[in-house]
Structure 1
Amino acid sequence: MNTTNVSIGKTTDSFEDLQILSQKEAEKIAETLQIAEGEKITFGFWTLDFPELICEAVFSKSEEGYIEFQLDFEQTTL
């Protein structure tokens, strides 16, 4: 499984704001991502100012050919 890092938001942002930013960024990534069926790619979403993990996003391709993702906020270091 490949892992890529994305930097968004700041540690001073509320966790709710960071969740919203993560959702929006994941939606943008899903629109441009090219992956094979059965492949999974993980993105770590980190804050810009001081690197704290916000969440992990796992992208995969559905049987219908759509890119799907799940955000895992249990991995946060905030």
Structure 2
Amino acid sequence: MLEWIIGALLGFLGEFLRGLYQDRVANSALREAGELKAQNDALKEQLKVKDQAQTIKEKTDAQDDFGALIDGL
């Protein structure tokens, strides 16, 4: 009878620890996914700013070219 009780307690403890481990792994994965999403959002923002800067540069270059053309006439 004592072996049965000890076996049941060990089985319960094993399942409990397995559940804790799975929760920890899941929390870690969710945390990492959140960090990756934040990095992705930051990179998208940087790309957006880069594209805006490129557009401004192209407009400035076009204005300079037009100004040089006018000055040449």
TM-score, length-scaled by structure 1? 0.26
Q: Highest CA radius of gyration, 1 or 2?
A: 2
More helix by percentage: 2
More strand by percentage: 1
TM-score, length-scaled by structure 2? 0.28
Q: Which structure has more RCO (C-alpha within 8 Å, separation ≥ 6)?
A: 1
